[in-house]
Amino acid sequence: METVLRALFIYLVLLLVFRLAGRRTLMQMTSFDFVLLLIISETTQNAILGNDYSITTGILAIVTLVGTDILLSYWKHRSAKVERWLDGLPLIIVQNGIPLKPLMDRARVNEEDVLAAARQGPGLERMEQIKYAVLEVGGGISVIPK
Amino acid sequence: MSSIPPIAGLEITQDLAVQYRTWKIQRMGWAAMALIILAALAGLFGSGPLARTAVVDDQQLVRLEYNRFGRYQDESLLKLELTPKATQTHRVTVKVDRNYWTSHAIEQIAPEPMTSSAGFDGFLYTFEVDSQNAPAAIIVRLRPEYLGSLDGHIRVNDQGSLTFEQFIFP
C-alpha cells in the first residue's frame, strides 16, 4: 500500500511543481537542464522506493506511475478543460513580424529565442519574415514564415 | 489584451484569459515554493533552529534535548543531560513510556545501560554513573516509525518526570 501511495503522491507533486515552474523551465534541454533532471529523478527515486530494494516494490511503483499517467491522459482526452489546466495552451508570441512583448515577457521568451527557432526551423533571417511564432505546450517555439 | 487582432488563418486554441490566470497561479506557486524553502531553512521540517529544543523535568534532575520536528525513518537524537542532583548515587534509572519507545526503532543507547527491563507501562533502564554529584549525559539514537504527533514521557530515578512532543513528517 505504501509504495502505491508514495508513487501517487510523488507523481502529483512532480506534476504540480513542473506545471508551476512553467514550460520554459527545464524545457530548453541545455546540458545543465539535463543534469538537473537527472538529479531530480535520483531524488524522486529515494522518495518512492525508500529503503526497499525488492522487485515487487519496483513493479508496484512502475505500474502506479504508468497507470496514473494513462488515467490522466484519458481524462485530458475527454475534457478540454482538464487538458488546458494540466498541459497549458499554445501562445502566439510573434504576429506578422511584430513580437508581442508583454506576452513574451510573461512567458520568459526573448526575441533571440524566437530568432533562433526561426533559423533552425524554416531558415529565416529576420523577425519581419515571420508570420507567426507560437510557444507550444511543450515549451518549444514553432515558426511559420510569411 | 485587446490590442492583439484576432488570429487569421492559424488554427490554434489560444485563450489569453486562461493564459493570464495560469501565469498568476504560477507566480503564487513560486511564492509558495519560496516559503517552503524558507520554512525548511528555519527548521520546520526537522533539523534547524526551529526544530531543536530542550525541556527540564519538574525535579531538575534531567534536561532533555530533542527535535520538535522530525522525518519518518530519519535519525532522531535524544540527549539526556543529568544534573548533579540526579547522579547522587552511582546508579541512575531512566524510564521511557512504552508507546513512545515502540513507535521507534532504537538504534543506539550510549552509554549502554547496565540493565534493562520491561514494565507494564514502559521500559526501565539502569545506567552506571562513574563520578557522583557530577553532570552526565545519555544519548539515544532512534528512528521514528510513525507519522504525525506523539508524546514521549521520561522519568528519571522514579522522581523527576517530563513530557515532550514530537511531530514526524512523512
Candidates A19, A20, A91; nearest CB to B19: A91
Conformational region of residue B154, where left means phi above 0, alpha means psi within -120 to 50, and beta covers everything else: beta
Interacting residues of B132 by C-beta distance below 8 A, sequence separation 6+: B87, B88, B89, B90
Q: Is the pLDDT of residue B1 over 60?
A: no
d(CA B151, CA B162): 10
Closest CA to B16 of A4, A29, A93, A21: A93
How far, in Å, CA of B157 to CA of B64, rounded? Answer: 15
Cell numbers standing for residue B160: 523527576
Q: Beta-carbon neighbour count of residue A111 at 10 Å?
A: 14
A97 CB near a chain B CB, below 8 Å? no
> B100-152 pLDDT, tens per residue?
999 999 999 989 999 999 888 889 999 998 888 889 999 999 999 999 999 99
| Predicted local distance difference test score (pLDDT) of residue A33 | 85
Q: Which CATH number fits domain B52-169: 2.60.40.10, 3.40.47.10, 3.40.190.80, 3.40.50.300?
A: 2.60.40.10
Q: Does A56 touch chain B (CB under 8 A)?
A: no
Domains of chain A by range and CATH? 2-87 (no CATH), 91-145 (3.30.240.20)
Domain boundaries, chain B: 12-42, 52-169
Distance from CA of A95 to the nearest CA of B (A): 9
Q: What is the pLDDT of residues B22-74, one digit of tens each?
A: 899 999 999 999 999 999 999 998 888 888 899 999 889 999 999 999 999 89
pLDDT for B3 equals 42
Q: What is the pLDDT of residues A45-98, one digit of tens each?
A: 988 988 888 999 999 999 999 999 999 999 999 998 888 888 888 999 999 889
